[in-house]
Amino acid sequence: MTREFGDVDRSQFDSPLGGDPIIDDMMIGQLAKSTKLSVRTLRFYADEGLLPVTGRTTAGYRVFGPDAVVRARLIRTLRELGVGLDDVKRVLNSEASLIDVATEHARALDAQIRVLHLQMAVLRVFIQSTNPQELELMTDLTTLSANERQRIVDDYLDAVFGDDPNAVAEKMRMGTPELPDDPTPDQLAAWVELAQLLRDHDFVETSRRMAQRALAEGPEPDVAQFEVGKAVGELAGPAMRAGVDPGSTEALTIVQRLEALSPAPPDNRATVADRIEAFTDRRVGRYWTLVGIINGWDPSQAPSDIIDSWEWYARALRAHE
């Protein structure tokens, strides 16, 4: 059972720091010497009702009871930990246990620490730009609560997918960005850029059109189509990075190899190129890049590189219709 301060046996007032029991009334000077608190501070605590005065001398000096040293030292400890006077008073008056007040204060400190970490990260990013407008925007976006940041993501997903069940929507909901309590400057900058992107009307409309087209074209791709997607990265990717001309014979060979992987007869190449271009908006790749930075994902598979590969493949298809 937790013992409140008021539950202490008043017949024994041992100092929390050791020493002989304090049994006599004392004047404020003696109390200051015993507690290492200034007379001025003790007067303040007495005026606030934290240190009851048992009487006054004939000269008008305050007299404190035998429990004053214990109370004053407890007050000093709580104040050094940042506990407010109201909570100190609750403990001393047995209105709240010391453990409860300490737990509440620890939670408050934890929230303050998170805010300080964010402020530090904002300043580190700001040092690199020194743009006052960027600092204001960054401060506004990063001081949002976790729920408020999630609301920005949810509003985007709701605008794009609505209430219709969709595997792409579920994938995006499972991979939502979660800014850590102690973000790096890169994570902070990524969150600010992502928040702006998710609020961009044109990006929202483009995303909605992509979602509607994906829904209209039927169910998710089968395993064979996933193999084609993997092959695009393995074949078109190196060709793109090597600067191979999409209209060259070498590019045609790659197109033919990719078409051979499809179990169905190949569509008109222009039609395939149209479909690729409809689903390779560079901003979508940027979305996943930013989410990866914020969530600390492995950066080895950069979405921008994947999009570059598909764009090269679309150009090669058009060049060899």
CB-based contacts of 305: which residues, under 8 Å, 6+ apart?
A: 237
pLDDT higher than 80, residue 300: no
pLDDT higher than 70, residue 271: yes
pLDDT higher than 60, residue 41: yes
Domain containing 77 equals 5-96
The domain that contains 88 carries what CATH number? 1.10.1660.10
Say whether both 181 and 121 belong to one domain.
yes
Taking only the tens place, the pLDDT of each residue in 180-191 is 877 777 887 888
Across the chain, what does the average pLDDT equal? 76
Return contacts of 115-121, CB within 8 angstroms, 24+ apart: 115/143, 117/181, 117/182, 117/183, 118/142, 118/143, 118/183, 118/188, 121/182, 121/183, 121/184, 121/185, 121/187, 121/188
222 — pLDDT class (breaks 50, 70, 90): very low
Select from 96, 125, 154 the last residue of a domain.
Answer: 96
pLDDT of residue 245: 93
Taking only the tens place, the pLDDT of each residue in 243-270 is 999 999 998 999 888 888 876 666 688 8
How far is residue 232 from each of residues 46, 56, 128, 309, 316, measured CA to CA in Å?
Answer: 78, 91, 38, 7, 12
Say whether both 287 and 225 belong to one domain.
yes
Distance CA 315, CA 274 (A): 10
CB atoms within 10 A of CB 265: 6
**Domain presence at residue 132:** yes
**Domain presence at residue 109:** no
pLDDT of residue 42: 92
More confident: 122 or 97: 97
What integer is the mean pLDDT of 165-175?
A: 72
**Domain presence at residue 266:** yes
**Considering Cα of 38, then 43, then 49, then 55, what sign does the dihedral take?**
positive
Say whether both 191 and 259 belong to one domain.
no
Say whether both 15 and 44 belong to one domain.
yes
Say whether both 177 and 237 belong to one domain.
no
H/E run at residue 251: helix 249-260
